[in-house]
Structure formats: C-alpha cells, structure tokens
C-alpha cells in the first residue's frame, strides 16, 4: 500500500492533526494521552480513551469480529482459513501478553479482511479502494497498515495500539 498516496486521500476525511498523530504513534515512541485520544476520536470515541473498560472492549471486539467472520460467505477453498481465524481470535482474546498480541492482532485482521474482500486486499490500491467503498473502514485500514508488522514497543504502547483497533471493530 502506498501510504503517501493513501495519506493524501485520508486527509479528505481526517484532519491533518489526527493524521500526524497516527503517523507519530506508528513511527516513533509517541504514546502520549493526547495522541491516543486523537486516534480514538478518529474512530468515534469521545472522552479519554484511558478510561475505556478493557474487558468490555475485548468482549465486544471478539463478538463483533466473530460475527463478521461467521457471516462472511467464502469460497470452499477458504473454509479452513475461516475456521483458523476463528480459532486464532478465541486464543487471542484469552491472551494477556500485549506485546505478543500486537502481531497476532495484525495477523487476524489481515486474514479477516482477506476473507471479506478476497484478492483485492493483495493489490496495492486496496487502501484507496477501502476508502472509497467505506471511508470509516478505509481510515481504520490505513491506521492498521500504518503500524509496523512487529513492534519493539513497551507493553503499554502495544496495548494501546491493539485496543484502538479493537475499539473500531467493536463498534463497526
């Protein structure tokens, strides 16, 4: 995904302060309350994200993503992938190691989005495509793709990165 091209498209939907908050969060050691709240607001959260009930959020995320995966019609060749994602989701939601959860979260999201959109997700213009069909989802996908595949971040930053993504999907 050409992040620079998608960034210019994102700025049609999100103010530059928020775009910069996402980029700062993803590309530096920034884990400030202001940055976290700015990203959370981009996903529709109002208030201080630090006060979000973690257990409730994980349960809502699990329920919504599970429903989304179960209701997605797939080709016969993708049935095993669908079952694998549901297994990984269950395992993920029972894990409390946020550093480990960070990369597992990204794996689950990539596979779930593949189930929903198919080969289109493998194309370089999927970010742009997702913005055009559903700007809210496109912004979320841009956030996910802005994150590094693996992170050498402190536990709290990994936790925040995952919980922010969970928040969007728990309310999608």
Round to whole Å and give the CA distance between 113 and 98.
Answer: 22
Round to whole Å and give the CA distance between 120 and 126.
Answer: 6
Give the number of other CB atoms < 10 A from CB of residue 9. 17
Per-residue pLDDT of the chain (172 residues), as tens digits, is 555 666 778 999 999 999 999 999 999 999 999 999 999 999 999 888 988 789 999 999 999 999 999 998 888 888 999 999 999 999 999 988 999 899 999 999 999 999 999 889 988 889 889 998 999 999 999 999 999 998 889 999 999 999 999 999 999 8
Round to whole Å and give the CA distance between 98 and 61.
Answer: 15
Q: How many residues does the chain have?
A: 172
127: tokens are 């970010």
Q: What is the pTM of this model?
A: 0.91
Round to whole Å and give the CA distance between 120 and 132.
Answer: 13
């Amino acid at each position: 995904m050409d992040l620079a091209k998608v960034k210019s498209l994102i700025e049609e939907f999100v103010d530059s302060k928020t775009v910069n908050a996402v980029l700062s969060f993803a590309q530096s050691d920034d884990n400030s309350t202001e940055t976290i709240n700015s990203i959370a607001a981009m996903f529709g959260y109002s208030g201080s994200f630090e006060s979000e009930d973690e257990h409730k959020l994980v349960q809502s995320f699990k329920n919504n993503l599970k429903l989304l995966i179960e209701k997605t019609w797939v080709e016969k060749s993708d049935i095993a992938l669908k079952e694998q994602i549901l297994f990984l989701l269950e395992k993920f939601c029972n894990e409390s190691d946020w550093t480990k959860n960070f990369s597992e979260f990204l794996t689950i999201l990539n596979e779930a989005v593949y189930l929903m959109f198919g080969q289109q997700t493998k194309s370089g213009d999927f970010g742009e495509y997702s913005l055009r069909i559903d700007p809210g989802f496109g912004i979320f996908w841009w956030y996910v793709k802005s994150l590094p595949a693996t992170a050498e971040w402190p536990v709290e930053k990994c936790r925040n990165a995952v919980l922010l993504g969970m928040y969007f999907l728990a309310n999608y």
